[in-house]
Chains A and B, each alone.
Chain A
Amino acid sequence: MKKLILALSVFILAGAFLAFFLLKKDSGPVTFTTFPAAHGFLSPYQEKEEISFEIFFDRKSMFVEERTLNAAWIADENGENVLALTPVEIRKTENSFVHNGKTYQGYLFLFAGPKTDDGFLFELKDAHLFLEYKSGKEIKVPVGSFALEKIPAFGSEELYVSRLQGIVNELEGVKTLVGICLSLKNKTSEKIVIKAVEPVSSTVRGDAAGMMELGDEEIGPGTDIRELLPDYDPQLIATRKTELEIPPNGETRILLPLKYLQKLPTNTLAFRIEYECLGETQTCYFNEFTFFTGGRTVKDAINSLLFQTNEDD
C-alpha cells in the first residue's frame, strides 16, 4: 500500500513538474504588431460579413489560441464607438518576418460582423481591434481605418461591372491601390449617367473630378498613374464632379483615381456606384475585391510599425 502511495506521489509530482515547465515555457512577454491598412467591408443586412486582421506575434502564446479568446470589438482608441465582432477562428498564415533578431509569425484573426434589419454605416479613421481573453487580459491593436456598410443587396437591375483591375503604385515605399479601371455595362435600353464611384472606406476616396473614360488600350496594373494622369496627387481631393454616360445597352470603361485622407495602404476595396437612370438616382454595390497581394515590405516600413509587448499569463 505504501509503495502504491509512493509511486502515485512520484507520478503526481512528475506531472506537476512537467506542467510547470511547459507552462513556464509558454508564459512571459509576447511582442506583437500589425500592418495598419484601410479596411472596408460591405454586407447585406442579414449576412454576417467575414472580417479579418493579420497580427504578427514573436512567439506562440495564449493570445493566438481560439479557446482563450472571449470577445472582440472594433473601436476608436478610447474604446468608444464600438462595433462588436464574433470570434470565428485564429489561423496561422504563411507570412513571417524578422525584426530585432526575433521572428514574427502572422496569425489571421477571423470574425463575423453583425446582422442588421436595415442600413447601417460604421466608420473609424483610427480603428483599434480589442481582444479580450478569458484570463481577463485585454489587448488593443491599431489596425488602420475601418468601414462597414450594411446594404439591401449587391448588384443592380440596370448595370453590372464587366471588367475590374487595379492600378498599383508605391506611395512612400508601400504598394497600394492608386486607381481602379472598371468597365460598366448598361443592361437597359435607357441612358445611364454615372455620378460617382466611391470606395467603402473611411480614408480612401474616389476622385470623381479625375474620373476619366478609357478606350480599349491595355493598362498594366503596375503602370505609373502619372502616365495616365500627370497631375495625380494622392492626397489632393477635388470637390468638382464628373459625370459619365453609358449609352443604352452600351459599355463604358472608366479610370477612377483613388485619393488618401491618411497614409494607410489598401489592396482590397468594395465600392458603390451612384448612377441615374430614367431620372431616378440608384446605387449599385460591388463587394470587396482583392486587387493585388504581395509586394515587398521594406525594412523601413517594418521599423515604423508599433510593436507592443504584453505578458502572457
Chain B
Amino acid sequence: MKKTFLLCMILLLSLFVPSAQAATGHKGFSEIVLAEEGKLLAEITDAEIQAGYNALGRKFFGWKHYFFTYWEDATYKGEVIFAKSNRTGQPIEINYVLQEKEYTENSWKVKGSISGKVQGKIKKIDFALNADAEGEKKDTESFTRFEETKFKVLLEPNHRLVLQITGECTVTNGVSKHFLFGICSKKGVWEYVEVVTRYYELRTMEIEE
C-alpha cells in the first residue's frame, strides 16, 4: 500500500543556488559556449581590455562603449535548481512550482568604477535595435515570453531527483568610460548574459548507500 506525502514548494531559489561564482563569472551559469564569434569576458586578456579602453578615445560628456562581443548567440549550462532525496520506504509526491519572478534569468558582471546605473544605460542606448525609437512606442521585433514551470512527480524510495536548467542565451561584453567635461570620471569592463530559452531536464537516480 503506497503512502504519498504531498510536498508543496514555492521555491526561494537562493536556497538551492550554489553561492560560488562559476568559471563563467556569472552566478547560475556554470558553462557558456558561444555559437560562433566572440569571447567571454573570462577569456579576454588584460592586454585586450587595455586595447579596448584605448580604442574609446574621448568625449566631452557622457558614455563611450567598446564591444568585444556584441549580442552573440550562445548556449549555457545552468545550475541544479531543485533537488530532493527520498530516504523513506515509500514513494513521495513532489509538487514543484518555479515562479518566474523568483528567478533572475539575466546576468550582469561588472568590474571597475562603473556600476549600478551603467547597466540600464548600456542596455538602453546600445542594445536597442532601434536607437532612434527612444521616446516613442515601437513595435517589438521579438519578445521573450517565460511561463510558469511546474511538475508533479512520484519519487521512488531511496532515490534522488534533480531538475537542471540548460538553455540558449546572448552574450554582450565590452569596456565603457564615462566622461565629465572631457575627463574620464569612471570606467570599467562588463558582460551581459540574456537568457532566451530555458530547457529543463529531470533525472532521478538511486541513492548509493
> Do they bind each other?
yes
Interface set of A (CB-CB < 8 Å, partner B)? 35, 52, 54, 93-103, 106, 108, 154-155, 160-166, 168, 175, 187, 220-222, 267, 286-299, 302
Give CA–CA (A267, B147) in the complex, Å.
9
User: Looking at A164, A165, A293, A297, which has the most chain B CB atoms within 10 Å of its CB?
Assistant: A293
Q: Which residues of B contact A162 (CB under 8 A)?
A: 203-205
**Known A97-B140, A103-B137; 11 more pairs at CB < 8 Å:** A94-B100, A95-B147, A106-B145, A154-B152, A155-B154, A161-B204, A220-B166, A290-B148, A291-B199, A292-B197, A293-B197
Known interface pairs A289-B202, A294-B196. Does A95 touch B145 (Cβ–Cβ under 8 Å)? Answer: yes
The answer to whether A295 and B197 have CB atoms under 8 Å apart is yes
Chain A to chain B contacts (Cβ below 8 Å), 8 pairs: A94-B146, A98-B139, A108-B148, A222-B168, A293-B149, A296-B143, A297-B143, A297-B145
Chain A residue nearest to B161 (CB atoms) is A162
The answer to whether A287 and B152 have CB atoms under 8 Å apart is yes
Q: Which residues of A contact B139 (CB under 8 A)?
A: 98-101, 299
Give CA–CA (A95, B101) in the complex, Å.
11
Residue B117 is within 8 A (CB to CB) of chain A in the complex: no
Residue B109 is within 8 A (CB to CB) of chain A in the complex: no
Q: Which residues of A contact B148 (CB under 8 A)?
A: 52, 108, 290
Q: Which residues of A contact B199 (CB under 8 A)?
A: 165-166, 168, 221-222, 291-292
Q: Which residues of B contact A96 (CB under 8 A)?
A: 143
Give CA–CA (A222, B74) in the complex, Å.
12
The answer to whether A292 and B198 have CB atoms under 8 Å apart is yes
| Least distance between B195 CB and chain A CB atoms (Å) | 7
The answer to whether B196 and A296 have CB atoms under 8 Å apart is yes
Q: Which residues of B contact A154 (CB under 8 A)?
A: 93, 152-154
- CB contact between A221 and one of B93, B140, B154, B166 (< 8 Å): that residue: B166
Q: Which residues of A contact B195 (CB under 8 A)?
A: 294
The 9 closest A-B pairs by CB, nearest first: A221-B199, A296-B142, A155-B154, A165-B201, A294-B197, A97-B143, A287-B152, A290-B149, A164-B202
The answer to whether B140 and A299 have CB atoms under 8 Å apart is yes
Q: Which residues of A contact B151 (CB under 8 A)?
A: 287-290
Residue B156 is within 8 A (CB to CB) of chain A in the complex: yes
Residue B75 is within 8 A (CB to CB) of chain A in the complex: yes
Q: Which residues of B contact A302 (CB under 8 A)?
A: 140, 143
Give CA–CA (A295, B105) in the complex, Å.
13
Chain B residue nearest to A98 (CB atoms) is B140
Give CA–CA (A73, B158) in the complex, Å.
42
Chain B residue nearest to A289 (CB atoms) is B151
The answer to whether A294 and B167 have CB atoms under 8 Å apart is yes
| Least distance between A72 CB and chain B CB atoms (Å) | 18
Residue B19 is within 8 A (CB to CB) of chain A in the complex: no
Residue B144 is within 8 A (CB to CB) of chain A in the complex: yes
Residue B3 is within 8 A (CB to CB) of chain A in the complex: no
Chain A residue nearest to B204 (CB atoms) is A162
Chain B residue nearest to A103 (CB atoms) is B137
Chain A residue nearest to B141 (CB atoms) is A299
Residue B25 is within 8 A (CB to CB) of chain A in the complex: no
Q: Which residues of B contact A108 (CB under 8 A)?
A: 148
Q: Which residues of A contact B149 (CB under 8 A)?
A: 290, 293
